[in-house]
Every structure is written in C-alpha cells, then in structure tokens.
C-alpha cells in the first residue's frame, strides 16, 4: 500500500487533475494541446538533452540494457500486429497501428516520474539510456512497416524518405542528438545556458503529466474491446515479464533491472494515438487503448513495484 500511495498515486492524481479540468471545462482542449506542445517540443527535449549530455555512456549505454527492453518491445509489436490481423481480422494498415500501440510505451511522461518517485533522481540514468533510442527505434519500426504496406512494392526510396523525415523532425530526437554531441565532445556549456535549461526542466514532468490527463479527456471508449484487451495484456503484463526474464538472464545491475522492467510495464504513450492519427487508421482502438491501459496501470504498476527487487 505504501508504494501505491507514495509513488503511483501522486503522478496519477496530477493526470486526473488534468483530465477533470478539461472534462469540466476548467481548462480547454486547446490549452491542453498547447501544454503538451510546450512539454514535448521544448521542456522534455531540454530534460533529455541535459540527462544524456551528463550520462556515463560506457556505464549505462550497453547492449544488455537495450536488448532487455527493446527485444520484448519488438516482440510486442509483432504479436500485436499479427494478433490484430489473424485474431480480429483487421486490415494490415490497422494491424500495424495496433501493433504500434504494443511497441511505444510511455517511457517519458510516466516512466520518468514513476521511476524517480520510486527510486530517486539518481536512478534515472538507465531510463535516459533507454529513452535515447526509444522514439527513433519505434518510429523506424512503425513507419517502415506502414510504408512497406502502403507502397506495395513501389521501392525503398519513398519508404526511406518517410522514415528519415519522421525521425529527424521529432523534437525529442533533436534534444537527444544534441545531448549526445555535448557528451561525446565534452563541449563546455556556459553556466547561464545550463541555468536556463534547468528552469525548463523543472516544468517538464509536472506540466507533461497534467497535459496528458487533459489529452486523455477527449478520448472515448469506443474501440473494439478485443484488440484493446490484447494491447493492455501485452503492454502491462507480457512485455515487462519478458524484460524481467531477459534482464535477469543477462545479469543486469539492480538499478538497470529496475529501470528496464518498470519502463517496460508502462502503458502505451500518446504517440500511439499520434501514429494512428498520422495514417488515419486504427484511431478508435488506439485512443481507447491509451485511456484504458493508463487507468489499469495504476494497479499493475503497484504490483510491479511490489515484486521488483
């Protein structure tokens, strides 16, 4: 009960505050969009830039950590895509959008604050290493799969251009890339610049999770229940279980093990709906899955926090 009250509920109370504020017209949909745009375009890229620029790459950016998280994520994408196609008879484009919901966990808006509250700010270094390639990896997998289906043999060049544009125009990836540049080159930053970045960072997570609640308020529970249940099972139970087995088998340190399993246990991020909306397929399922899995994760994260060493 202590973990639920001290770690999970404060985060979800802020999400709930944003949800109710929009539902009760105390905060507009436009305001929630603007808040999310501020956090995802400016504040969170600053947070990722700062974290990665100071990350000990040799210590945390290691293959065992990445395999423990991204192999289960890729398995989730494949199972989600094939499940939507073979079990629920969805068209291939819909199936890929549903599979993307089983790939892109909410590693930033939920993963960072939950991990920080559970284990402290010093425990976030493995999270930053995971997040560093999360968006590039997930968008590369999702967009490449979708473009292959859509282009139907028209060649690799249109697919490559679509993937490259989506990745290089993402503000989170820009922040991550700049962080790597500063880290690798040991480029000294002026104190006034780091102080300004730190001011942005302080606003990042509280504003982001409040805005997430506001965005969730517009979703309706109207997606097909079968695919939604499949997404919830894959994201909240199966993927973190696979990460647990792989991370344990590879002998990750306790800190890295915690970050991997807890991040893998997060609900799909809003990017799952953004991806579906970008292609105009599977939007109802994606919206319902984000909303339902985020609500269910209050309970599943409680269980994971209780069993993680």
pLDDT tens for residues 252-291? 999 999 999 999 999 998 778 778 877 778 878 888 888 8
**CA separation for the pair 272, 287 (Å, rounded):** 8
- pLDDT > 90 fraction of the chain, expressed in percent and rounded: 32
Q: Which domain holds residue 233?
A: 2-307
Q: Which residues pair with 268 in a beta bridge?
A: 105
Most confident of 11-15, 100-104, 147-151: 100-104
What pLDDT score was predicted for residue 163?
A: 67
Name the band, by pLDDT with cuts 50, 70 and 90, for residue 5.
low
**How many domains, the chain?**
1
Residue 196 pLDDT more than 80? yes
Q: Mean pLDDT in the chain?
A: 85
Specify the CATH number for the domain of residue 28. 1.20.1530.20
């Amino acid at each position: 009960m202590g973990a639920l009250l001290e770690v999970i509920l404060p985060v979800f109370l802020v999400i709930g505050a944003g949800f109710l504020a929009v539902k009760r017209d105390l905060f507009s949909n436009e305001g929630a969009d603007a808040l999310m745009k501020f956090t995802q375009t400016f504040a969170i890229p600053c947070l990722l830039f700062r974290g990665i620029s100071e990350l000990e790459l040799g210590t945390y950016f290691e293959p065992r950590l990445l395999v423990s998280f991204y192999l289960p994520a890729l398995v989730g994408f494949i199972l989600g895509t094939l499940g939507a196609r073979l079990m629920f008879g969805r068209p291939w484009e819909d199936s890929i959008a549903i599979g993307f919901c089983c790939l892109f966990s909410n590693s930033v808006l939920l993963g960072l604050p939950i991990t920080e509250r559970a284990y402290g700010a010093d425990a976030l270094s493995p999270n930053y290493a995971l997040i560093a390639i999360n968006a590039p990896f997930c968008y590369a997998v999702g967009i490449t799969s979708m473009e292959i289906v859509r282009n139907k043999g028209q060649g690799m060049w249109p697919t490559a251009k679509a993937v490259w544009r989506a990745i290089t125009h993402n503000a989170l990836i820009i922040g991550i890339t700049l962080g790597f540049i500063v880290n690798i080159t040991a480029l000294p930053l002026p104190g006034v610049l780091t102080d300004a970045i730190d001011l942005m960072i302080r606003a990042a997570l509280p504003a982001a999770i409040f805005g997430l609640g506001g965005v969730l308020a517009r979703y309706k529970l109207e997606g097909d229940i079968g695919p939604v249940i499949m997404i919830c099972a894959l994201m909240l139970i199966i993927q973190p279980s696979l990460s647990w087995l792989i991370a344990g088998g590879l002998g990750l340190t306790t800190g890295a093990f915690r970050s991997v399993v807890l991040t893998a246990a997060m609900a799909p991020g809003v990017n799952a709906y953004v991806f579906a909306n970008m292609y105009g397929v599977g939007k109802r399922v994606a919206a319902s899955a984000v909303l339902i899995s985020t609500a269910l994760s209050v309970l599943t994260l409680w269980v994971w926090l209780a069993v993680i060493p």
